A and B are shown apart, each in its own frame.
Chain A
Amino acid sequence: MDDRDLRLLEYTAIRHETSIDYKVWQEFISEGVFPQYYFPNLKDLDELNNSFTICTLSERTQVLTDDAIKNSDKVKRAVERYAGLINRNDIRILYDGGKYYPDIWKNLSGMPRVIFVKGDVTTLCDLDHNGGASIVGSRSPGRYALYATKEFSSRLSTKGVVIVSGMALGIDRQAHEACINAGGKTIAVLPGGCDVVYPYQNNDLYDRICENGVVLSELPPGQEIIKQYFPSRNRLISALSDVCMIMEAGEYSGTLHTASFAAAQSRDVFVLPNSIYAENSIGGLKLLRDGAEVLIDVDTVYERIRGEVGNRAEYFDYDPVPYDAGSMNISELRDLSKKCPDRLEEKDWKVLVLDELSEKPKNIDELCLTLGIPFSYLSALVTSLEIEGRIANEKGKYVLTINGC
């Protein structure tokens, strides 16, 4: 834990443990007291309080600043507590202007300046470079919505899209799980500290997400769940994605918050159409009436994400992952493999295997049947693809990993 991390923690503690609120920070920045990428600590506040500048600020700010300095013991205790949890749980602190802080937030206002993450932070880079999709919905969904969630989540993640959700039960869980099962990467934005598993039933999922993605929270470590904070968490979910997919939402569902945040953050909102008689469908249908887009197929969503990624790539000047339109000779290869299989080389067969798997996960017997090659040969191909990390065995079936597509 270095000085910068301590400063970030102190900044967080001031934000959460004292009555200094968002408005005060706004004033500090707009009045030029602190630069935009600066994280003031207690010392800075103390200096400010003793300088003349404080007199130029509003009365409320003066009172609150003074109050914060009086509470400095509380802040220091909080910093120690955070530091302990961070060390114990292997948590990383990301900050605005630092490495891994998502580019996708750069043009939005109201995003947290410090976030806490656990897991594989490179997922955030993948999100910026490959695009992200948030998938949200009811906690007790119907089969139809669950099925669609699985389908969209796994197919988007095999294309490299990062799936973002809130690790709640129901749709959220399904979205994370399908993504991980398909070998993709996923982000969970938690409603408490990023070391607080909520709900407890998702303990297993939490571990899997930490391995195959990242859990993220703007709240300091150890922060218990506050129900009132849920909508606020939803704004981060929609902000962390290029498109927001609403799988199922009742009339008064919290999911609708996510949708309105997404619209405010100019994210495309897709809603899965459902029967008007179905439970929990009215909220989603009303969104459709208000002009949300209908979620019909993966390709439309993917194209939209590619568009956003392209814009971002231009803006931040990095090379986007090339658009995977499917190489032209796949069908030629397929024909050739049927007519004269002898002319195909090992690498051609590998392409065909990957092509078969891009349709859906298949077991090796199905692959053997459709490709029509001897099992002994196919199994050697599959082993070598597995070693290369391009496919993985999942519940007896082979799936593409993120490197495979």
Chain B
Amino acid sequence: MASKVRIVKVYTSFMDGMTPVPAEVEVSITPGLPTFDVIGLCDSSIRESRGRIQPALVSSGFCMPKGHITASISPSYIRKSGTGFDLPIALGMLIASGQLQVPEDVRIYSSGEIKLDGKIAGTPQAAMRLRMLPDEYDYVFIPEEETDAARCACLTATAVNSLSAFRDAFDSDSYSPVNYSLNDIEEYEEEIPDFSAVKGQEKAVRALLIAAAGVHNILLLGSPGCGKTMAGKILAGILPPLQGSEIGDVYSVMEAAGLKDDPEEGLILSDRRPFRYIYPGMSRGRILGIPSKLMPGEFALANHGVLFADEIFEYKREVLEALRVPLEDHVVRMSKDGRNFAFPASFVFVAAGNPCRCGMLYESGRRCTCTPNVINSYMSKLSGPIRDRLDLVAEMRSISGKSMAESASAEDRKINEQMKQLVKQAWDMQRRRFNDGVFNGTCCNADAELFRASSEVVNYAAEISEACGFSARGFNRILRVGRTIADIAGREDMETADVAEAGIYRKGDLVNGRSGFKAS
């Protein structure tokens, strides 16, 4: 007495390492002793789904189908884990047992964890999965908690919060999916510190502007309390807001890093550029990420934003040197189980430090107590290769209380606006020159367009490099910074004055390697 076995397919997706994989959940119910099997290289989090599904069905007013229940998840050769399979399995069971009436041959996508009371909860890394979702499903159900992720993915879907919502979900009249999009996200409004904090420090102000406009790495040197951290925040504040897919990039990395949805930790969907802060006590794992867990670190979190490295001279050597390659390639690479994963890490790198051990080197008067030897040994903690990656160096000094008081004025607001405008203009020029997301500071070394300049300009840059004993990379960096200075001025062609200005941000000294940085 063979009865017709009904097989129901529900679609879902899961994360294989950092790669989203679309998956298919097949559920069959055959007569027999009541059993429940989930197959397809599942780990116990999936196998436990039975324990969650049964009470949830009952508490939502459905009943647990009788018979032999098999759920097979394919591709079945990939190990999988996660509780996001609860909902597709439960839906498959309900459809197979006829408790939900669904037209033949519709493709249903769903994902979510089921609580015992039938509520549906979100699962980690939703944004990354949803953003890669192929556009081929007739019904897309997401947990309500994942609506932010859906907005990142610009998904058309129905958000559900409990199993009972499925009772009439498939009625043609009542199914009305929502088009999630980024259009209506809250504009990020926060008091950003304005330029008055660094007023009177023309070099620092200008260097910050250039760093923002061309995404150049910058080193700020100054005494404790002279406003270095503030300068980093100012820099983040004058960057244009995140655009389009960048918002999703930032959000999904935050999710992957396990940031919680509260203002402290900052998992917010917004167009605000991330500002991440690292300090010498942080482990290498926090900064670059933990390969064994595929957990992105601060580098990946700062993608599209600003990474502020405080007290750059105090890092452990091995940590500092490990930053070299990510800083150059703008990607953090990790290997796990013989597979490589890459997290993009393209940001403005702002390093800050004291110029000497007592920190007072640049202060007026005779306040620095370091001998030349001490200064040099302090400076040499930053190895040549790291130093080479810093396009801009600016000295800062504390300003007196009097000039502080003078400086706070309404005009500073205006300066902020002007700066924003200049940065935006420079970014537009670079967008025309390169692909999206590539800047003068980050584009590859072989870009002919970047280095297009008259021979006069190139010769002058060579002369500067010669005088400073720069490496080939140093020469290259001077032209990059020169290019950005021209972009800020809105000029298509570089002039010698641009390159000359670029020379001034290059290390503390130019000729003879006097104090400060030795010429490398």
Chain A residues within 8 Å of B, Cβ to Cβ: 147, 177, 181, 204, 208, 363-365, 368-369, 375-377, 379-384, 386-387, 389, 392-397
Extra contacts, 20 of them, besides A375-B206, A380-B500, A392-B509 (Cβ < 8 A), are A364-B202, A365-B201, A369-B200, A376-B206, A376-B485, A380-B497, A380-B498, A382-B504, A383-B510, A384-B500, A387-B511, A393-B516, A394-B514, A394-B515, A395-B355, A395-B361, A396-B361, A396-B395, A396-B397, A396-B508
Known contacts: A363-B395, A376-B485. The answer to whether A393 contacts B371 by CB under 8 A is no
Contacts of B509 in A (CB 8 A): 392-394
Q: Is the CB of B516 within 8 A of A396?
A: yes
Q: Is the CB of A204 within 8 A of B373?
A: yes
Is B75 located at the chain interface by the 8 A CB criterion? no
Q: Is the CB of A387 within 8 A of B395?
A: no
The chain A residue with its CB closest to the CB of B366 is: A147
Contacts of B361 in A (CB 8 A): 395-396
Contacts of B185 in A (CB 8 A): none
Q: Is the CB of A379 within 8 A of B514?
A: no
Known contacts: A379-B500, A392-B510. The answer to whether A365 contacts B515 by CB under 8 A is no
A32 nearest CB across to chain B (Å): 50
Within 8 A of A (CB), among B415-459: none
Known contacts: A204-B372, A392-B510. The answer to whether A380 contacts B501 by CB under 8 A is yes
Q: Is the CB of B511 within 8 A of A392?
A: yes
Within 8 A of A (CB), among B373-415: 373, 395, 397
Chain B residues within 8 Å of A, Cβ to Cβ: 200-206, 221, 355, 361-362, 366, 368, 371-373, 395, 397, 463-464, 467, 485, 496-498, 500-501, 503-505, 508-512, 514-516
Contacts of B200 in A (CB 8 A): 365, 369
Question: B202 contacts which of A177, A365, A387 (Cβ < 8 Å)?
Answer: A365
Question: A396 contacts which of B362, B467, B501, B511 (Cβ < 8 Å)?
Answer: B362
Known contacts: A379-B206, A392-B511. The answer to whether A363 contacts B397 by CB under 8 A is yes
A382 to B395, CA, bound (A): 15
Question: A383 contacts which of B204, B205, B500 (Cβ < 8 Å)?
Answer: B500
Known contacts: A383-B510, A395-B361. The answer to whether A364 contacts B504 by CB under 8 A is yes
A91 to B37, CA, bound (A): 89
Q: Is the CB of A383 within 8 A of B501?
A: yes
Q: Is the CB of A395 within 8 A of B500?
A: no
Output the residue of B361, B501, B514 with the most chain A CB within 10 A: B514
A-side binding surface: helix, strand, loop or mixed? helix
Contacts of A383 in B (CB 8 A): 464, 500-501, 503-504, 510
Q: Is the CB of B508 within 8 A of A364?
A: no
B395 nearest CB across to chain A (Å): 4
The chain A residue with its CB closest to the CB of B478 is: A383
A379 to B464, CA, bound (A): 13
A154 to B300, CA, bound (A): 50
- Some 18 contacts from A to B, beta carbons below 8 A apart, are A365-B202, A365-B397, A368-B202, A375-B205, A379-B206, A379-B500, A380-B497, A380-B501, A381-B500, A386-B503, A386-B510, A386-B511, A392-B510, A395-B361, A395-B362, A395-B515, A396-B395, A396-B508
Output the residue of B361, B464, B515, B516 with the most chain A CB within 10 A: B515
B485 nearest CB across to chain A (Å): 7
Contacts of A387 in B (CB 8 A): 463-464, 467, 503, 510-511
Contacts of B511 in A (CB 8 A): 386-387, 389, 392
A384 to B504, CA, bound (A): 9
A389 to B514, CA, bound (A): 12
A379 to B73, CA, bound (A): 65
The chain B residue with its CB closest to the CB of A399 is: B514
Q: Is the CB of B500 within 8 A of A364?
A: no
A171 nearest CB across to chain B (Å): 16
Question: B467 contacts which of A375, A377, A386 (Cβ < 8 Å)?
Answer: A386
A396 to B373, CA, bound (A): 17
Contacts of B463 in A (CB 8 A): 387
Q: Nearest 9 A-B pairs (CB), nearest first?
A: A380-B500, A396-B362, A383-B503, A379-B504, A375-B202, A386-B510, A383-B500, A393-B509, A396-B395
Contacts of A395 in B (CB 8 A): 355, 361-362, 368, 515-516
A15 to B366, CA, bound (A): 47
Question: B514 contacts which of A368, A369, A384, A392 (Cβ < 8 Å)?
Answer: A392
Contacts of A147 in B (CB 8 A): 366
A368 to B207, CA, bound (A): 14
Contacts of B371 in A (CB 8 A): 204
A382 to B464, CA, bound (A): 12
Contacts of A363 in B (CB 8 A): 203, 362, 395, 397
The chain B residue with its CB closest to the CB of A369 is: B200
A392 to B514, CA, bound (A): 8
Contacts of B496 in A (CB 8 A): 380
A365 to B505, CA, bound (A): 13
A386 to B361, CA, bound (A): 21
Contacts of B510 in A (CB 8 A): 383, 386-387, 392-393
A181 to B500, CA, bound (A): 24
The chain B residue with its CB closest to the CB of A203 is: B373
A109 to B516, CA, bound (A): 45
Contacts of A392 in B (CB 8 A): 509-512, 514
Q: Is the CB of B514 within 8 A of A393?
A: yes
The chain B residue with its CB closest to the CB of A378 is: B202
A380 to B464, CA, bound (A): 11
Contacts of B366 in A (CB 8 A): 147
A151 nearest CB across to chain B (Å): 11
Q: Is the CB of B508 within 8 A of A393?
A: yes
Contacts of A386 in B (CB 8 A): 467, 503, 510-511
A384 to B202, CA, bound (A): 19
Contacts of B515 in A (CB 8 A): 181, 394-395
A387 to B463, CA, bound (A): 8
B356 nearest CB across to chain A (Å): 9
B473 nearest CB across to chain A (Å): 19
A379 to B515, CA, bound (A): 20
B460 nearest CB across to chain A (Å): 9
A375 to B372, CA, bound (A): 29
Known contacts: A392-B511, A393-B508. The answer to whether A375 contacts B203 by CB under 8 A is yes
Output the residue of A208, A364, A389 with the most chain B CB within 10 A: A364
A147 to B366, CA, bound (A): 10
A365 to B372, CA, bound (A): 24
Q: Is the CB of A396 within 8 A of B206?
A: no
Contacts of A208 in B (CB 8 A): 372
Q: Is the CB of A364 within 8 A of B203?
A: yes
A387 to B519, CA, bound (A): 14
Question: A377 contacts which of B221, B497, B505 (Cβ < 8 Å)?
Answer: B497
Contacts of B485 in A (CB 8 A): 376
A394 nearest CB across to chain B (Å): 5
The chain A residue with its CB closest to the CB of B362 is: A396
A384 to B501, CA, bound (A): 9
